[in-house]
A and B are shown apart, each in its own frame.
Chain A
């Protein structure tokens, strides 16, 4: 591809830290795009959980790439190897870069040691979505769950990640909780590394 090489340098040779790539787009652009993704995905699946899986798959691709970008840009190439480290990286750096703010809370599951929850009261991907009644428990936050899964998987923390709507009093809309359940080997490794 000599013709292309003469115009733009190969992708890996371009700067990733410039202000150019940090340009902002209108939130509408993303909302419309995401809505089309949901609608398209609906035509390829037959039930709600398949739809969530499909959205998570799309998010997964985003997560894998976002991790690479952020590790270079914000952590000078250093990757996390502890559970708490990677979780706070998700809660703070990843969220801030993707959604413009840190997530609202990061908690440890009460019932199991290997479960953690990241919650957001106003998750960007759910802001413009209303779920029809016949699709009951669908949560398009599955896309964000996919991003989290992608980040975790490619930094060596395989986990099962799912999105849930949690209603609580005093809130006009349900908050989105992303439940992370780490694989046993991750917990084992973290214990071995000690504190």
Chain B
């Protein structure tokens, strides 16, 4: 039953070649561009998909890492930068600027954009907006409402990839949870 053993191995430690991931993401963006036609719509769709991912990804993250509860925005931002990016994207991020409500982080490299060049007519396309959605979705699950945007993007001519997060509010959990 070798296949069973393999299938059951925890995914946390498993790594795969980033090229499959990169090319698949690229193919997705291309198909979204064909389907939705306007780059702005694609940005929205990517962001939405990212949020869906984030909502589920946070469980995976908490289950596989032994991170304690992030009590505030600062801790959450640091955890994302130091552990989150390494676990999922295999790259590290550095928090360059942080206070209680805002945070900027720079990614050392960005596997999403390997092999990518944006043609001029697609300048409005925010290629990595999926990442913003992921962060927003994940933090939403731990009761923090944040806004996230790409403040510097090498695809648009900047020298590095930088994300800008802004805390909107801490959301209180509501009891009792409804069943439906």
Contacts from A to B (Cβ < 8 Å):
1, 3-4, 7-8, 10-11, 20-37, 39-40, 44, 57-62, 65-66, 69, 97-100, 121-122, 124, 127-128, 170-173, 175
Nearest CB on A from B43, distance (A): 14
Select which of A22, A29, A99 is within 8 A of B88 by beta carbon.
A29
Q: Are B154 and A7 in contact (CB under 8 A)?
A: yes
CB<8 Å pairs between A and B, sample of 12: A7-B157, A22-B19, A25-B15, A25-B18, A25-B111, A28-B12, A28-B88, A36-B49, A36-B52, A97-B17, A121-B6, A171-B1
Q: What residues make up the interface of B, taking CB atoms closer than 8 Å to A?
A: 1-4, 6-7, 11-12, 14-21, 23-28, 30-32, 35, 45, 49, 52-53, 56-57, 60, 87-91, 109, 111, 114-117, 120, 154, 156-159
Q: Assess whether A62 is in contact with B23, with CB atoms less than 8 Å apart.
A: yes
List chain A residues, Cβ under 8 A from B35. 44
> B52 touching A39 by the CB < 8 A rule?
yes
Known contacts A23-B111, A58-B24, A65-B26, then 14 further A-B pairs from the complex at CB < 8 Å, ordered by chain A residue:
A11-B116, A23-B18, A23-B109, A25-B111, A26-B88, A27-B11, A28-B87, A31-B11, A33-B21, A33-B25, A33-B28, A36-B52, A40-B28, A99-B16
Q: Would A124 and B24 count as touching, CB distance under 8 A? A: no
- The residue on B at minimum CB distance from A24 is B15
Whether A1 touches B120, Cβ cut-off 8 Å, given contacts A7-B154, A23-B109, is yes
Q: Are A172 and B15 in contact (CB under 8 A)?
A: no
Are A25 and B23 touching (Cβ within 8 A)? no
Q: For B154, what are the chain A residues with a Cβ–Cβ distance below 8 Å? A: 7-8
In the complex formed, the residue of A with least CB distance to B154 is A8
Whether B16 contacts A23 by the Cβ 8 Å rule is no
A59 touching B27, Cβ below 8 Å: yes
A interface majority secondary structure: helix
Q: Is the CB of A58 within 8 A of B27?
A: yes
- Residue pair B3, A173 in contact (C-beta under 8 Å): yes
Q: From A26, A65, A172, give the contact of B90 (CB < 8 A).
A: A26
Asked if A25 contacts B88 (CB within 8 A), the reply is yes
Enumerate chain B residues within 8 angstroms of A57, measured Cβ to Cβ.
31
- Residues of A within 8 Å of B111, CB to CB, are 23, 25
Q: Which of A25, A32, A100 has the most CB of B within 10 A?
A: A25
A57 to B27, CA, bound (A): 9
Docked Cα-Cα span, A34 to B2, in Å, equals 25
CA A37 to CA B27, docked complex, whole Å: 10
Please name all residues of chain A whose beta carbon is closer than 8 Å to the beta carbon of B6 when the two chains form the complex. 121-122
Rounded to whole angstroms, the CA-CA distance of A7 and B152 in the bound complex is 13
Residue of B nearest to A120 (CB): B3
A50 to B164, CA, bound (A): 39
A29 touches B21 (CB 8 A): yes
- Residues in B neighbouring A3, C-beta threshold 8 A: 157
In the complex the two chains form, what is the Cα distance from A175 to B4 in whole Å?
A: 11
Which of B19, B31, B91, B114: most chain A CB closer than 10 A?
B19
The 5 closest A-B pairs by CB, nearest first: A24-B15, A61-B27, A121-B3, A27-B14, A29-B88
